[in-house]
Amino acid sequence: MRPQPFTPPPEALTRRSRMRKRNTLNAATLEQVYTFICRHWQQFGYGPSMREIAESCFISRPNVYRYLDRLEMQGRIVRDAGTARSITVVRDDDTE
């Protein structure tokens, strides 16, 4: 007779997945990304590329998308889907 593999109860899986999703982004890096976008807008007059954000903040490009999604959810930036360099700063209270 084979032993049955351990299967956690469904509520445990839900609880774990919610905990992972809640605090996966670093707040300091989020501010660094936002500050870089604001400074890029001030210097050049248009939004930075994903590669520029990734290189300046020392994060991977897939993580850039996650941080931009969070900034967009917070209402700090706006993006146009399918358009390059379409990041626009909504409010610019924290930086000069």
Domains in the chain, ordered, with CATH?
Answer: 26-89 (1.10.10.10)
Provide the pLDDT for residue 25.
Answer: 87
Contact criterion met (CB below 8 Å) for 82 and 88: no
Report the pLDDT averaged over residues 57-75: 94
Cα–Cα dist 23/86, whole Å:
27
Q: How confident is the model at residue 96 (pLDDT cuts 50, 70, 90)?
A: very low
The pLDDT tens digits for 5-33 are 766 666 665 555 555 555 578 999 999 99
66-78 average pLDDT score = 94
According to the model, what pLDDT value does residue 81 have? 85
Q: What's the whole-number average pLDDT of the chain? A: 83
